[in-house]
C-alpha cells in the first residue's frame, strides 16, 4: 500500500511541534524553580504576643524616642546655668499646667430690674423721680413723685409728657394724681404714669420727658426705665 508523502510530512511536523512544546515547558519550569530557590513564604501567622493582653508586648524594641525642641532647649539652658535639668523641666511642666487652667469665670451678679430704681431727674429746683414699675391688667404702671424746692410755683400740662421706648417709638401714656401746679414748699407729691402694654412689644426700656407749661424752660428727662414683665 502506497503511503501519501503529504500525510507523512504532516505527522513528522506534528511530532516535532509536540516535542518542542514539551521541551520548552520542562526548560521553563526548571529555570523558574532555580530562580525561586531561597525564597520562602512570609509568616502570616499571628504573633504569640498579640493575644497575650500584656501592654507594650507589641511595641518595637528599637523604637526611637523623639524629643521636643522646647525640652532640649530647656535642658541645655539649665546645664549652662548650672541647674538640674530634671528639676527645671518639672518646674516648667507645673507652670504650664497652672497657666493652662482656665480662670474661673466670674458669675455675673444677678440683675434685678428693681435694683435700678429710683431713677430721677432734676432741673430748676424741680425733681421728677420714678421709684418702681409694675404691670397691672393691660398696663405698665410707673410710680412717680415730684417736688419743688425752688422759689416759685411751677405748672405742668401732662399732655406734654413724652414717653418713648428704646427703639425710639413714641408711646401713649396717662398721668394720674400728679398736681397741675407744683408749689415751692418741698413737699413730695405722688402719682402714676400708665402705659398700655400692647405698645411695649419687644421693648426693654422706656424714657420720660416732661417740661413746664407754658414757659417750657425746664427739661426733666429720665431714661433707662426697665419695662416690667
- Other C-beta atoms closer than 10 Å to the C-beta of 27 total 10
DSSP for 97-130? HHHHSPPPPPPPPPP-GGGG--EEEEETTEEEEE
Percent of the chain scored above 70 by pLDDT? 69
| Summary mean pLDDT of the chain | 79
pLDDT above 70: residue 110: no
Cell of 209: 420727658
Give the model confidence (pLDDT) of 129-159 as tens digits: 999 999 998 999 999 999 999 999 999 999 8
The β-bridge relationship of strands 220-226 and 181-182 is unpaired
Cell of 18: 509536540
Q: What is the pLDDT, as a whole number, of residue 196?
A: 94
Give the model confidence (pLDDT) of 15-73 as tens digits: 899 888 988 888 888 888 877 776 666 665 555 554 444 554 444 445 556 767 777 87
- Evaluate whether 172 touches 215 at the Cβ level (below 8 Å): no
Give the model confidence (pLDDT) of 80-90 as tens digits: 766 665 665 66
pLDDT above 90: residue 118: yes
Amino acid at each position: 500500500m502506497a503511503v501519501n508523502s503529504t500525510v507523512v510530512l504532516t505527522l513528522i511536523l506534528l511530532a516535532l511541534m509536540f516535542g518542542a512544546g514539551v521541551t520548552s515547558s520542562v526548560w521553563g519550569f526548571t529555570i523558574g524553580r532555580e530562580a525561586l530557590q531561597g525564597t520562602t513564604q512570609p509568616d502570616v501567622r499571628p504573633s504569640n504576643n498579640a493575644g497575650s493582653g500584656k501592654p507594650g508586648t507589641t511595641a518595637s524594641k528599637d523604637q526611637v524616642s523623639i524629643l521636643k525642641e522646647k525640652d532640649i532647649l530647656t535642658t541645655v539652658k539649665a546645664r549652662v546655668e548650672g541647674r538640674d535639668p530634671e528639676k527645671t523641666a518639672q518646674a516648667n511642666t507645673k507652670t504650664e499646667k497652672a497657666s493652662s487652667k482656665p480662670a474661673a469665670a466670674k458669675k455675673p451678679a444677678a440683675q434685678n430690674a428693681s435694683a435700678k430704681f429710683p431713677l430721677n431727674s432734676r432741673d430748676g429746683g424741680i425733681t421728677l423721680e420714678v421709684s418702681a414699675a409694675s404691670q397691672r391688667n393691660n398696663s405698665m404702671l410707673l410710680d412717680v413723685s415730684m417736688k419743688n424746692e425752688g422759689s416759685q410755683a411751677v405748672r405742668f400740662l401732662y399732655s406734654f409728657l413724652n414717653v418713648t421706648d428704646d427703639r425710639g417709638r413714641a408711646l401713649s401714656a396717662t398721668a394720674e394724681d400728679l398736681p397741675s401746679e407744683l408749689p415751692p414748699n418741698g413737699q413730695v407729691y405722688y402719682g402714676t404714669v400708665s402705659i398700655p402694654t400692647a405698645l411695649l412689644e419687644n421693648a426693654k426700656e422706656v424714657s420720660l420727658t416732661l417740661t413746664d407749661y407754658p414757659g417750657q424752660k425746664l427739661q426733666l428727662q429720665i431714661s433707662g426705665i426697665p419695662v416690667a414683665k
